[in-house]
Chains A and B, each alone.
Chain A
């Protein structure tokens, strides 16, 4: 489990770096794979397009998925992943600036495992990451590999 990757789908380079930083501060050693749009994320996970050579059994530990993404947005990616049995069980944490009820509701209806609002304050974000780590890396049993 330790060598499993964390997939971050986030288009803003600033946020990519800040999230990495927060995970480093939270002492998470897993490798980060960073993708910057929804289509790339699906290509990566379904091993197609630029990722056709990738080993499909190498599923990420979890996916941090931004809601607002170029090409395909986070909700569309989420729905496609949940529709496919190969990816249906990968834990997905929705990351967003939004606190809109509608967004939260739709995310949960589409089968998101958790929902984290990116706070303005970096310290709060570090706290949120620590809780995520606690929850996902220690407590939560990830589904068995096939």
Chain B
């Protein structure tokens, strides 16, 4: 500690001097930050943390003051000695937050401390014994505390583990330093002729510095290190718990959250609870092992309860004093504090995660930050799972509704035909067997009846074919529309050999779809084109694809026929909608409804452009880009 004088008086450029400045800076910083925390949020935990670093800080401060005011050297020596001796006791008090320390050890440490301090009064009589006692006390208590910290660093998982691993370097190095000092001191007392080894003197400062860095990183780590730990924990959690969560039920996801949260931040028991308004109590949905022997619990109405019930609740840490009022039930199971974390998804609040702890957690903010991440992840999975479930339910409902519609249209088509057959049949019987008793007008009426039964029979058949289009299984493949159009054209030519129609089809028009269905659609569109150009001297029909890029291909069937008024374009694709009289052009008006249904089943769209007497163009897409 003599180095202090040199460093203060200007020998900054030695490595030792620099190390000393670094060490002091670290311990002053830690003392300052923990003092501030205790002042801002007074609690036993913050007090104990503050005392650990304040004692170290005071030791270094005393050293500096000693150098500045050499005339009060002995007073500062006592300050330094007291601060150093008291440090391991404070460390022991801190250790109990993650590992229970038997009360007798705490009392023994306190008694030893007092004894050592008293022994300083005899410093003038025999300087050696109090020194040995002091260093011995320090080495034993610091060593014990460090042992627990190192053990914690190895055994404790999660966020606390990361911090303890670094803190263990801090306390472990200090303990090592003092144990070595004790051994050297004993050797020197026993054999005063042996000088203190030089390596010890030179290694004191670096060890202090390293210990300071360890403490600093463990207790006040910079943000990027914290985020790194957070990321690691979150990654582990997602890896272990949230994989394949799509198929998980709500309770399975709750269970994953409870176990995952306990692994990440520690604690006794994790529960997922929900407010049951009818019973005015909280029901426990899942809990980690070992479970509490309760299924639900009451909480006296107060501010904390309101936070719990509130749907937009916040993450909360419930410290010991509040806890004792709010959750006596938890106290019965040895829990002294707890975390309350709302699990809120985009769709709904799913519940509350409770983590019961026997000890005040060392780093509340760490835990809350991490819990927020874990809970958000699970809430997202819960949302996803419920959306998928809802989607499946809706799909099932749709399928059922579709089936019902199918069987409806099927039986309607069947049952509608029967009376029609009777009307037609008996009319026919009248015409053939009672022709003598009927005059010409009577026969005319009967024939009108028969014609209408024909018409209605046709309509029913069309309805059936429309429903058949909807029911067909689709098999998508590459379809050569050019080839299909040519086949259709040839058939039409064979049926109406007297017609002169100029048919132009683009080469290699290909689309992705069900070949049979597309053929039916093309059949309807092309035969419409034939039909509505029947009054044209030089009829022309064109089939092709529009030049577009990066979008669905737009296919078209164009004719130079009678066209239609675009005012009625919206009626074009309705079943049994006709824009021309049956006398002009025959048909029931089912064709375009079938075309539309086929295109819609492919996920495409169909529309038309036309002008009266100037022809019509029908466009359609097959929804191909959705497939990719």
Q: What's the nearest-Cβ distance from chain B to residue A95, in Å?
A: 11
Is A14's CB under 8 angstroms from B419's CB? yes
Q: Is B147 an interface residue (CB 8 A)?
A: no
Return the CB mask of A87-109 against B: 1 if under 8 Å, else 0: 00000000011111000000000
Is B461's CB under 8 angstroms from A14's CB? no
Is B421's CB under 8 angstroms from A118's CB? yes
The answer to whether residues A120 and B410 also contact, given A14-B418, A21-B425 and a CB cut-off of 8 A, is: no
Which of B418, B421, B424, B450 has the most chain A CB atoms inside 10 A of its CB? Answer: B421
Q: Which residue on A lies nearest to B417, using beta carbons?
A: A97
Is B429's CB under 8 angstroms from A21's CB? yes
In the complex, which residues of chain B have a beta carbon less than 8 angstroms from the beta carbon of A118? 417, 421
Q: Is B364 an interface residue (CB 8 A)?
A: no
Q: What's the nearest-Cβ distance from chain B to residue A98, in Å?
A: 6
Is A120's CB under 8 angstroms from B417's CB? yes
In the complex, which residues of chain B have a beta carbon less than 8 angstroms from the beta carbon of A96? 414
Q: Which residue on B lies nearest to A125, using beta carbons?
A: B425
Q: Is B527 an interface residue (CB 8 A)?
A: no
Q: Is B464 an interface residue (CB 8 A)?
A: yes
Is B414's CB under 8 angstroms from A98's CB? yes
Q: CA A98 – CA B465 in complex, angstroms?
A: 12
Q: Is A127 an interface residue (CB 8 A)?
A: no
**How many residues in A have their beta carbons less than 8 Å from beta carbons of B?**
18
Is B418's CB under 8 angstroms from A15's CB? yes
Is A14's CB under 8 angstroms from B422's CB? yes
Return the CB mask of B374-415 against A: 1 if under 8 Å, else 0: 000000000000000000000000000000000000100111
Is A120's CB under 8 angstroms from B453's CB? yes
Q: Is A18 an interface residue (CB 8 A)?
A: yes
Return the CB mask of A8-28 against B: 1 if under 8 Å, else 0: 000010110010010000000
| Complex partner residue of B422 from A15, A68, A100, A123, CB under 8 angstroms | A15
Q: What's the nearest-Cβ distance from chain A to residue B456, in Å?
A: 8
The answer to whether residues A12 and B418 also contact, given A21-B429, A99-B464, A120-B424 and a CB cut-off of 8 A, is: yes
Q: What's the nearest-Cβ distance from chain A to residue B325, in Å?
A: 72
Q: What's the nearest-Cβ distance from chain B to residue A91, in Å?
A: 24
Q: Is A122 an interface residue (CB 8 A)?
A: yes
Q: Is A141 an interface residue (CB 8 A)?
A: no
Q: Is B420 an interface residue (CB 8 A)?
A: yes
Return the CB mask of B440-484 against A: 1 if under 8 Å, else 0: 000000000010011011000100100010000000000000000
Q: Is A121 an interface residue (CB 8 A)?
A: yes
Is A120's CB under 8 angstroms from B454's CB? yes
In the complex, which residues of chain B have a beta carbon less than 8 angstroms from the beta carbon of A119? 421, 457
In the complex, which residues of chain B have a beta carbon less than 8 angstroms from the beta carbon of A99? 461, 464
Return the CB mask of A113-146 against B: 1 if under 8 Å, else 0: 0000011111101000000000000000000000
Interface of A is mostly: loop
Q: Is B428 an interface residue (CB 8 A)?
A: yes
In the complex, which residues of chain B have a beta carbon less than 8 angstroms from the beta carbon of A18? 421-422, 425-426
Is A120's CB under 8 angstroms from B420's CB? yes
In the complex, which residues of chain A have a beta carbon less than 8 angstroms from the beta carbon of B424? 120-122
Q: What's the nearest-Cβ distance from chain B to residue A139, in Å?
A: 27
In the complex, which residues of chain A have a beta carbon less than 8 angstroms from the beta carbon of B413? 97
Return the CB mask of A50-77 against B: 1 if under 8 Å, else 0: 0000000000000000001000000000
In the complex, which residues of chain A have a beta carbon less than 8 angstroms from the beta carbon of B456? 120
Return the CB mask of B490-525 against A: 1 if under 8 Å, else 0: 000000000000000000000000000000000000
The answer to whether residues A122 and B421 also contact, given A99-B461, A99-B464 and a CB cut-off of 8 A, is: yes
Q: CA A22 – CA B14 in complex, angstroms?
A: 124
Q: CA A100 – CA B419 in complex, angstroms?
A: 19
Q: CA A96 – CA B426 in complex, angstroms?
A: 19
In the complex, which residues of chain B have a beta carbon less than 8 angstroms from the beta carbon of A122? 421, 424-425, 427-429
The answer to whether residues A121 and B454 also contact, given A15-B421, A15-B422, A18-B422 and a CB cut-off of 8 A, is: yes
Is B414's CB under 8 angstroms from A97's CB? yes
Q: CA A99 – CA B420 in complex, angstroms?
A: 16
Q: CA A53 – CA B285 in complex, angstroms?
A: 70
Q: CA A101 – CA B276 in complex, angstroms?
A: 56
Q: What's the nearest-Cβ distance from chain B to residue A23, in Å?
A: 13
Q: CA A98 – CA B419 in complex, angstroms?
A: 14
In the complex, which residues of chain B have a beta carbon less than 8 angstroms from the beta carbon of A120? 417, 420-421, 424, 453-454, 456-457
In the complex, which residues of chain B have a beta carbon less than 8 angstroms from the beta carbon of A98? 410, 414
In the complex, which residues of chain A have a beta carbon less than 8 angstroms from the beta carbon of B426? 14, 18
In the complex, which residues of chain A have a beta carbon less than 8 angstroms from the beta carbon of B457? 119-121
In the complex, which residues of chain B have a beta carbon less than 8 angstroms from the beta carbon of A125? 421, 425
Q: Which residue on B lies nearest to A11, using beta carbons?
A: B418
Q: CA A47 – CA B229 in complex, angstroms?
A: 87
In the complex, which residues of chain B have a beta carbon less than 8 angstroms from the beta carbon of A12? 418, 422
Q: What's the nearest-Cβ distance from chain A to residue B430, in Å?
A: 11
| Complex partner residue of A123 from B414, B418, B428, B461, CB under 8 angstroms | B428
In the complex, which residues of chain A have a beta carbon less than 8 angstroms from the beta carbon of B427? 122
Q: Which residue on A lies nearest to B456, using beta carbons?
A: A120
Q: What's the nearest-Cβ distance from chain B to residue A127, in Å?
A: 12
Q: CA A123 – CA B453 in complex, angstroms?
A: 13
Q: CA A12 – CA B418 in complex, angstroms?
A: 8
In the complex, which residues of chain B have a beta carbon less than 8 angstroms from the beta carbon of A14? 418-419, 421-422, 425-426
Q: What's the nearest-Cβ distance from chain B to residue A107, in Å?
A: 15
Q: CA A86 – CA B422 in complex, angstroms?
A: 35
In the complex, which residues of chain A have a beta carbon less than 8 angstroms from the beta carbon of B453? 120-121
Q: Which residue on A lies nearest to B461, using beta carbons?
A: A99
In the complex, which residues of chain A have a beta carbon less than 8 angstroms from the beta carbon of B454? 120-121
Q: What's the nearest-Cβ distance from chain A to residue B96, in Å?
A: 78
Q: What's the nearest-Cβ distance from chain B to residue A24, in Å?
A: 10
Q: Which residue on B lies nearest to A18, using beta carbons?
A: B425
Q: Which residue on A lies nearest to B450, using beta carbons?
A: A121
Q: CA A146 – CA B456 in complex, angstroms?
A: 48
Closest 6 CB pairs of A and B: A120-B457, A14-B422, A122-B425, A122-B428, A18-B425, A97-B417
Known: A14-B421, A14-B425. 5 other contacts (CB 8 A): A14-B422, A100-B464, A120-B456, A122-B427, A125-B421
Q: 28 interchain pairs (CB within 8 A)?
A: A12-B418, A14-B418, A14-B419, A14-B421, A14-B422, A15-B418, A15-B421, A18-B425, A68-B414, A97-B414, A97-B415, A97-B417, A98-B414, A99-B464, A100-B410, A100-B468, A118-B417, A120-B417, A120-B420, A120-B454, A120-B456, A121-B428, A121-B457, A122-B421, A122-B424, A122-B425, A122-B427, A123-B428
> Which residues of B are in contact with A by a Cβ distance under 8 Å?
410, 413-415, 417-422, 424-429, 450, 453-454, 456-457, 461, 464, 468
